[in-house]
Amino acid sequence: MEDVAERAKVSRALVSLVMNNSPQVSEEKRESVLRAAEELGYRPNLAARQLAKRRTQTIGVLVDDLRNPFFGEVVDGIEAEAANHGFTALILNGHRDARRELDAVETFLQFRVEGMALVGPRVGDDDLARLGGTTPCVVVASGSAHPGVDTVTTDGRWGAELAVEHLASLGHTRIAHMDGGSNVSAEERRAGYRSAMQAAGIGDFIDIRAAGDDEADALDVIDELLSAADPPTAIFAFNDLLAAGALNRLDDAGVAVPEDVSLVGFDNTFIAALRHLSLTTVNQPTLAMGRLAVETLLTRLSDGTDEPMRHTLEPQLVVRSTTGPPPMQSSGTASGSAEHI
Amino acid sequence: MEDVAERAKVSRALVSLVMNNSPQVSEEKRESVLRAAEELGYRPNLAARQLAKRRTQTIGVLVDDLRNPFFGEVVDGIEAEAANHGFTALILNGHRDARRELDAVETFLQFRVEGMALVGPRVGDDDLARLGGTTPCVVVASGSAHPGVDTVTTDGRWGAELAVEHLASLGHTRIAHMDGGSNVSAEERRAGYRSAMQAAGIGDFIDIRAAGDDEADALDVIDELLSAADPPTAIFAFNDLLAAGALNRLDDAGVAVPEDVSLVGFDNTFIAALRHLSLTTVNQPTLAMGRLAVETLLTRLSDGTDEPMRHTLEPQLVVRSTTGPPPMQSSGTASGSAEHI
DNA sequence: ATAGACCATTAGAGCGCTCCAATTCAAAGT
DNA sequence: ACTTTGAATTGGAGCGCTCTAATGGTCTAT
């Protein structure tokens, strides 16, 4: 910067003004500075700028799992909105592990990010509240109900209800739920499943199995479910990945979907839309969630409210081909008719 | 930091030493500093540290597309290895667009990252070389042959050859290639396709269609292919996503895979492994690529070679159920027999 | 007893920038 | 001619840390 100033025959301060394109610089000087910078390949040092400005214009984005396309979509939304406001999004990966998430948050804090978006975090509510005290922090995930933290969520309870209602209306009674394990969103979806089962008058059949959020997590659970005394005719899975894993295993076992068993996922990732899976699922408006997360953060930054802000978006059932009426009562297992929607 | 020093009754310098856990601090003082820091909730300011240290211990990771699970896997590898060496990985998203990639690189440079890993970049070779001059830079992608830049790649040419040889050995002659468009890896795969076609003595049938690297990019191309005078009996797609899109469209058109048309993808993402797609594809060792990328960067940092380093990994054909022998010569279109592997 | 060696500790300069207050200069007002 | 105004420019302090060289202290060798 020193050099640029010298070369352009101006003071360092003026260079700074040009670099921040302040309006009160004469066209003449501006150009000469820009030229000098160009010639010397000068690039402002972000660390120094941040230090001097006492601002970083950066938000931290903690992603649970980069392999799940759902998160990729949310992050896309966050990045787009952040860029709109001149913010840079710093992406860190939680690797589906609470301890590593905490490390990542620690890194964010050292970076002095102005806000953090935790996308599908696994850290406990207590840690969350503690963090939120220091730096604005928004939890993005369906069905998080964290006290004292801002949240952007798709109504997971409602989403689960949509799924169960759909299955119930097709005539299913034995509907099982493969739940999300330690995933934050798991609880709300579980609750939705429960309430919808009750509402449909089939509360007696409530069957919740601890699974997870990855295809591999589905395998054992499907085996359990199939070998149960009274196997379900429909399964509501925590997310699309889990549902995909279920589909794999059901196929292995020679169980036809949806003829023998109906299956519903969650997230409406592009995987669900693949024709060969054609998974009935519950849509989350990922892009909107991302954008809203950033907006929330910015509001929090300027605003001084204590009230936690909660944005809840509407889920939407997307019916595809993995759901249909249950097999005839008589025929206990495979073979079922093909008359689905 | 001032406050911590005061509280622990030591100098600022000592606090700094403790924070960098220097060995030459007495146990007594170390503890008292740590305690003071804890009590005050002190957290070192990374920007200040970087500025003073003249090092950032950070590498930039530019990802082409966060929705494609392939990239997620590579990034996982990068992050793991970076962490091993005390580096933080800064992830930025290129959004499949060369201009935005350049912006991201600019950001990296301002951050003073010590190295950059460009995962599946789209920027031109000239820009690449220019960047590489400033900051160590490794291109991670299958089949990149960028002059003057370090690369970690899976041999895309070979991978393509494996795919074509497999199809040819099944008896296919009319094998088309849906290529990767502006994706860096496209050219090598194209070349591999060409050479394998020649080698198999079916060079006359070479048919390359510009497609892309996203499911949506497949649609039009499939339509074209199907309505051609002499439609192919096999298609080698640039990547799994494209293949998945192709699968969708073929299904729409009532074309059976692999009975009527065989299909091969690339990347071996988890999508390909889904039982309902069960896509024959070419594996890339993603994790190893990520790790190797970081190693390359670190070598470049310590070493002073001018020679560009090129790591080329072996692709591997993964045969699943989307490939089989071509339909009987006689039956021109749909219906084909079911005798596949 | 004195010099030398060695350890833990500290003062203080400096990293590359921004920003405030101060300065310069030209044009306008009286 | 003089002050007033305002825009363009600059000097310099300071952001929070690290690092070098210097300081004080303790211990061993002579």
pLDDT tens string A292-317: 999 999 999 887 777 888 999 999 99
The answer to whether B290 and B80 have CB atoms below 8 angstroms apart is yes
- Contact (CB<8Å) B72/A67: yes
- Contact list in B for residue A247 (CB cut-off 8 A) is 274-276
Q: How much is the average pLDDT of B138-152?
A: 79
Q: Average of pLDDT values for B298-306?
A: 84
Instruction: Give yes or no for a contact between B169 and B199, defined as CB atoms under 8 angstroms apart.
Output: no
Give pLDDT, residue B177: 98
pLDDT of A338 higher than 80: no
Q: How confident is the model at residue B340 (pLDDT cuts 50, 70, 90)?
A: very low
Mean pLDDT, rounded, for B214-234: 94
Q: Does position A89 have pLDDT exceeding 90, yes or no?
A: yes
**Chain A: nearest CA to B195, how far in angstroms?**
32
What average pLDDT does the segment A230-240 reach? 96
What band does A335 get if pLDDT is binned at 50, 70 and 90? Answer: very low
Q: What is the pTM of this model?
A: 0.89
Provide the token pair at A7.
């070369």
pLDDT at B88 over 90: yes
**CB-based contact B109:A47 (threshold 8 Å):** no
Q: In b/e form, how buried is each residue of B230-260, taking b as 16+ CB within 10 angstroms?
A: ebbbbbbbbbbbbbbbbbbbbeeeebebbbb
CATH number of A56-154+286-312: 3.40.50.2300
Q: How far apart, in whole angstroms, are the C-alpha atoms of residue A325 and residue B320? A: 31
Average pLDDT over residues B204-230: 94
Q: Can you tell me which residue has its alpha carbon closest to the C1' of nucleotide C9?
A: B14
Q: A199-212: per-residue pLDDT in tens?
A: 999 999 999 999 99
Higher pLDDT, A330 or B127: B127
Helices (H), A253-303: 270-273, 286-302
- Say what the pLDDT of residue A62 is: 95
| Arch. (CATH architecture) of A2-44 | Orthogonal Bundle (1.10)
Q: Give the distance, in angstroms, between the CA of residue B304 and the centroid of all CA atoms in the same chain.
A: 26
Mode of pairing for the β-strands spanning B150-154 and B137-140 = parallel
A211: helix, coil or strand? coil
Predicted local confidence at residue A223, as pLDDT: 96
Q: Please give the pLDDT value at position A275.
A: 87
pLDDT of residue A334: 41
Q: What is the mean pLDDT of residues A56-79?
A: 93
From the CB of residue A160, how many other CB atoms can be counted at a distance below 10 Å? 31
Over chain B, what is the mean pLDDT?
Answer: 90
Asked if the Cβ–Cβ distance from B247 to A275 is below 8 Å, we say yes
pLDDT at B111: 94
Query: Smallest CA–C1' separation from A17: which nucleotide?
Result: C18
Q: Please answer yes or no on whether A76 and B69 come within 8 Å at the CB atom.
A: no
Cβ atoms of A188 and A156 closer than 8 Å: yes
Cα distance between residue B308 and residue B118, in whole Å: 15
CA dihedral B131, B212, B73, A83 (to 10 degrees): 60
pLDDT at A178: 97
Q: Which two tokens stand for residue A302?
A: 């300027």
Q: Helix axis angle, A186-199 relative to A156-169, nearest 10°?
A: 40
Mark out the alpha helices in A20-155 (DSSP H runs): 27-40, 46-53, 69-84, 98-111, 125-134
> Nearest CA to CA, how far is B219 from chain A (Å)?
13
Q: Which residue of A has its CA nearest to B130?
A: A41
Q: Is the dihedral of CA B83, B85, B91, B97 positive or negative?
A: negative
Q: What proportion of chain B, given as a percentage, has pLDDT over 70?
A: 94
Q: Are A91 and B91 in contact (CB under 8 A)?
A: yes
**Model confidence band, residue B275 (pLDDT cutoffs 50, 70, 90):** confident
Tell me if B47 and A56 make a contact (CB, 8 A cut-off): yes
In this predicted structure, which of A16-25, A241-250, A301-310 has the lowest mean pLDDT? A301-310
Identify residue A9 by its one-letter amino acid code.
Answer: K
Listed by number, the residues of chain A in 193-232 with a beta carbon closer than 8 Å to a beta carbon of chain B are: 215
Domain B156-283: which CATH number of 3.30.420.40, 3.40.50.620, 3.30.1330.10, 3.40.50.2300: 3.40.50.2300
**Least Cα separation, residue B204 to chain A (angstroms):** 33
CA angle B49, B53, B58 (to 5 degrees): 75
State the Cα–Cα distance between residues A161 and A169, nearest whole angstrom: 12
Distances (CA, A) of B71 to A255, B94, B117: 33, 12, 12
Decide: A259 and A337 in contact? Cβ < 8 Å. Answer: yes
Q: Is residue B189 within 8 Å of B142, Cβ to Cβ?
A: yes
Question: Nearest 5 degrees, angle CA B67-CA B68-CA B71?
Answer: 110
Contact criterion met (CB < 8 Å) for A51 and B46: no
- Work out whether strand A175-179 and strand A150-154 pair parallel, antiparallel, or are unpaired: unpaired
User: pLDDT > 90: what percent of chain A?
Assistant: 68
Which nucleotides of strand D come closer than 7 angstroms to any CB of the protein? 7-12, 14-20
pLDDT digits (tens, 9 = 90+) for A156-186: 999 999 999 999 999 999 999 999 988 888 9
For A275, nearest residue in chain B (alpha carbons): B248
In chain B, at which residue ranges do the beta strands (DSSP E only) sit? 58-63, 88-93, 115-119, 137-140, 150-154, 175-179, 207-210, 234-237, 262-264, 281-283, 310-313, 316-318
pLDDT the model gives residue B57: 94
Residue-wise pLDDT tens digits, B10-33: 888 888 998 888 888 888 888 888
Q: Which of A165-169, B186-190, B265-269, B334-338 has the lowest mean pLDDT?
A: B334-338
CA angle A188, A192, A195 (to 5 degrees): 135
Q: Which long-range contacts (CB under 8 A, 24 or more apart) does B17-25 make?
A: B19/B44
Q: Give the mean model confidence (pLDDT) for residues B167-194.
A: 94
- Tell whether the model's pLDDT for residue A339 goes beyond 70: no
Q: Average pLDDT of B130-141? A: 83
| Torsion sign (Cα): B177, B181, B185, B190 | positive
What local confidence, expressed as pLDDT, does residue B332 receive? 41
Of chain A, the percentage scoring pLDDT greater than 70 comes to 94
Amino acid at B306: D
A152, A145 contact by CB (below 8 A): no
Query: Three-state SS for B259?
Result: coil
Q: Which residues in B lie closer than 8 A to residue A43 (C-beta atoms)?
A: 106, 109-110
Residue A306 amino acid letter: D
The pLDDT > 90 percentage for chain B reads 68
Q: Residue A252: closest CA among chain B residues belongs to which residue?
A: B275
pLDDT of B2: 75
Provide mean pLDDT across the span A285-290: 96
Is B248 near chain A, with CB under 8 Å?
A: yes
Residue B143: per-residue pLDDT: 62
- pLDDT bin (cut points 50, 70, 90) of residue B142 is low
Q: Which two tokens stand for residue A194?
A: 């429960």
Cα distance between residue B232 and residue B118, in whole Å? 35
Name all protein residues with C-beta less than 7 A from any atom of nucleic acid chain C.
A 1-2, 12-13, 15-16, 19-20, 42-45, 48-49, 51-53; B 10-14, 17, 24-26, 28-29, 48, 51-52, 54
Contacts of B252 in chain A (CB under 8 A): 275
Residue B336: the pLDDT is 39
The predicted structure's pLDDT at residue A337: 43
User: In which band, very low, low, confident or very high, does the pLDDT at B144 lie, cut at 50, 70 and 90?
Assistant: low
**Please, are residues B151 and B158 in contact by the beta-carbon 8 Å criterion?**
no
Residue B330: pLDDT band by 50, 70, 90 thresholds?
very low
Which region among A151-155, A165-169, A180-184, B99-103 has the lowest average model confidence (pLDDT)?
A180-184
Q: How far apart are the first and last CA of chain B?
A: 69
Q: Where are the domains of chain B?
A: 2-44, 56-154+286-312, 156-283
- Kindly report the number of other CB atoms within 10 A of residue B80's CB atom: 16
Residue A29 confidence (pLDDT) above 90: no
Which residues 76-115 of chain A have a CB within 8 Å of chain B?
76, 79, 88, 90-93, 95, 106-107, 109-112
The beta-carbon neighbor of B69 closest among A41, A69, A112 is: A69
* Helices and strands in chain B: count of H runs, count of E runs: 13, 12
- Shortest Cα–Cα distance, B45 to chain A (Å): 5
| The pLDDT value given to residue A238 | 97
- CB distance under 7 Å to strand D: residues: A 10-14, 17, 24-26, 28-29, 48, 51-52, 54; B 1-2, 12-13, 15-16, 19-20, 42-45, 48-49, 51-53
Do the domains B156-283 and B2-44 match in fold?
A: no
Which helix (H) or strand (E) segment holds residue B6: the answer is helix B2-7
B interface mutation test: which of A276, A279, A287 has the most B CBs within 10 A? A276
Q: Which nucleotide is nearest to B52 (CA to C1')?
A: C15
DSSP B41: T
Lowest mean pLDDT among B154-163, B251-260, B300-309: B300-309
pLDDT at B331: 42
Q: What are phi and psi of A61, to 5 degrees?
A: -120, 115
The minimum CA-CA distance between A43 and chain B, rounded to whole Å, is: 6
Cis peptide before B121 (omega within 30 of 0): no
Region B296-316: what's the mean pLDDT?
89
pLDDT at A277: 92
Q: Residue B308: its pLDDT value, please?
A: 85
Residue A307 CA neighbour count, 13 Å, CB half: 7
